[in-house]
């Protein structure tokens, strides 16, 4: 536990992946998303090692996605989980084999289902019985491999806004609804598995095991309904990461071992996991420039980005660390209220300890921002979305180009 757990693996004295952050700011401007490519590759390999080759590892594209990320997944031999036509198109454009794509979502339009069926995705996760009926009708005899998303009440120890099971969550089916969906399987639409995603940023492996046991019981009782009596059991993502220096770090093996153990003695069942945040969150930093400073007591420090490049503090009260790049060697001992540039009082990046003489023009980094920041970016106040730069071995490249005012105007 410490700041090094929050920072990218290949961070060293104001460089990431061997690239000086001040040079990146000069070359691309700020705010800037910087991702440590080797960190991402390491997390993909760690998951594969921990869960073993018998487990399907699928990256949840919603955490951060682009063609460069799809390419990394290909190199690491991963599947991907997508929830929209746009994520599906990106996965395909990035060269991911359709049979390694899992299509999720509580809302899939007819057009999205048609595309998924026609390209031959690996799995479509059905969210309710009516969707199963629509799918069978759209498939019109073409083969489709489906899974069922179950909603089992499991007490996920996370923020209520990122908890995705129980009666307050709109995702998945009760056992009775899942049975109604099974009753509608027809033609070449075949059942291959069950899925659950209990929530995000979970740090207690027991919760994943409880969820797995619940869906395992459901599936075992209906084994005859599954194609070839083989069941894919997908326990979703949600593996927690450290955002603050004193956050606990739960090694992925602590999740993998009890999950694999819970499946021993159940032949014909294959485990699937779908991490997003755990792969990319700590690989990324956002680089900001301070623009103004106001007030004496807990001064406001305003930076050139905010809710548009990372809405998580406003959405979930998410907390982050911040470090000064410009005054890195000075003690970070003065509390600042770091705010963004948007017309919302809630546009606050957080209360951050920074060097007392932090001033306009200084460069700052917010680590732990590789997941659900760029992915959730908006153009609020007509700010163009900012680029994502991948860094590795002293080289940098644009993974996602930034937008321009001309594009916004158009």
Ligand X SMILES: Cc1ncc(COP(=O)(O)O)c(C=O)c1O
Beta carbon of residue 274, minimum distance to ligand X (angstroms, whole number): 4
Stretch that binds ligand X, among 26-34, 66-74, 270-278, 399-407 (CB under 6 A): 270-278
Cα distances from 97 to residues 21, 90, 219, 336, in angstroms, run 35, 12, 27, 48
Which parts of 196-255 interact with ligand X (CB under 6 A)? 197, 200, 236-239
**Closest CB to ligand X belongs to which residue?**
237
Give the residue numbers marked as catalytic: 343
Cα distances from 112 to residues 103, 108, 125, in angstroms, run 9, 6, 13
Count of residues interacting with ligand X (CB under 6 A):
17
Beta carbon of residue 82, minimum distance to ligand X (angstroms, whole number): 10
Residues 103-142, one symbol each (x = binds ligand X by CB under 6 A, - = not), give -x--------------------------------------
3-state DSSP call for residue 336? strand
Measured in whole angstroms, how far is the alpha carbon of residue 373 from the centre of its chain?
9
Which parts of 331-350 interact with ligand X (CB under 6 A)? none
Our finding on whether 145 is near ligand X (CB under 6 A) is no
Give yes or no for a contact between 188 and 194, defined as CB atoms under 8 angstroms apart.
no
Our finding on whether 290 is near ligand X (CB under 6 A) is no
Our finding on whether 312 is near ligand X (CB under 6 A) is no
Our finding on whether 275 is near ligand X (CB under 6 A) is yes
Our finding on whether 276 is near ligand X (CB under 6 A) is yes
Cα distances from 384 to residues 172, 274, 410, in angstroms, run 35, 30, 12
The contacts of residue 322 (CB under 8 Å, 6+ apart) are 338, 349, 350, 352, 353, 354, 364, 365, 366
Angle at the Cα of 124 (from 122 to 126), degrees rounded to 5?
A: 160
Q: Which is nearer to ligand X, 197 or 341 (CB)?
A: 197
- The two structure tokens encoding residue 148: 């069922």
Which parts of 38-77 interact with ligand X (CB under 6 A)? 60, 62-63
Q: Which is nearer to ligand X, 203 or 277 (CB)?
A: 277
C-alpha span between 120 and 114 (Å, rounded)? 10
Beta carbon of residue 219, minimum distance to ligand X (angstroms, whole number): 17
Positions touching ligand X (CB under 6 A) are: 60, 62-63, 81, 104, 164, 197, 200, 236-239, 274-278
């Amino acid at each position: 536990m410490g700041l090094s757990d929050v920072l990218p693996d290949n961070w060293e004295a104001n460089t990431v992946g061997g690239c000086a952050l001040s040079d990146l700011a000069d070359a691309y401007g700020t705010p800037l998303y910087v991702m440590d490519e080797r960190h991402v590759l390491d997390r993909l390999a760690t998951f594969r090692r921990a869960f073993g080759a018998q487990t399907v590892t699928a990256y949840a594209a919603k955490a951060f996605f682009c063609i460069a990320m799809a390419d990394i997944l290909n190199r690491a031999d991963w599947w991907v989980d997508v929830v929209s036509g746009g994520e599906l198109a990106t996965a395909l454009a990035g060269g991911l084999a359709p049979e390694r794509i899992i299509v999720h979502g509580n809302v899939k339009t007819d057009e999205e289902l048609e595309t998924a069926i026609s390209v031959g995705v690996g799995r479509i996760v059905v969210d309710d019985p009516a969707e199963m009926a629509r799918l069978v009708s759209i498939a019109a005899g073409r083969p489709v491999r489906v899974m069922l998303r179950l909603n089992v009440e499991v007490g996920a120890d996370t923020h209520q806004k990122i908890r995705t099971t129980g009666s307050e969550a709109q995702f998945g089916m009760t056992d009775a609804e899942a049975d109604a969906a099974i009753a509608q399987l027809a033609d070449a639409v075949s059942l291959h598995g069950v899925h659950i995603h209990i929530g995000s940023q979970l740090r207690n492996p027991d919760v994943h095991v409880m969820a797995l046991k619940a869906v395992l019981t459901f599936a075992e009782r209906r084994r005859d309904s599954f194609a070839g009596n083989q069941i894919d059991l997908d326990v979703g993502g949600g593996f927690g990461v450290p955002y603050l220096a004193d956050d606990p770090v739960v090694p992925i093996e602590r999740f993998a071992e009890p999950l694999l153990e819970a499946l021993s003695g159940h032949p014909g069942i294959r485990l699937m996991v779908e991490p997003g945040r755990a792969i990319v969150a700590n690989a990324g930093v956002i680089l900001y420039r301070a623009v103004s400073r106001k007030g004496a007591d807990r001064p406001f420090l305003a930076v050139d980005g905010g809710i548009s490049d990372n809405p998580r503090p406003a959405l979930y009260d998410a907390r982050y660390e911040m470090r000064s790049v410009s005054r890195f060697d000075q003690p970070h001992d003065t509390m600042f209220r770091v705010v963004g540039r948007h017309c919302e009082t809630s546009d606050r990046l957080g209360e951050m300890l920074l060097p007392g003489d932090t001033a306009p023009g200084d460069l700052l980094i917010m680590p732990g921002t590789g997941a659900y920041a760029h992915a959730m970016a908006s153009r609020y106040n007509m700010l163009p979305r900012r680029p994502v730069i991948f860094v590795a071995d002293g080289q940098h490249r644009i993974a996602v180009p930034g937008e321009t005012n001309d594009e916004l105007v158009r």
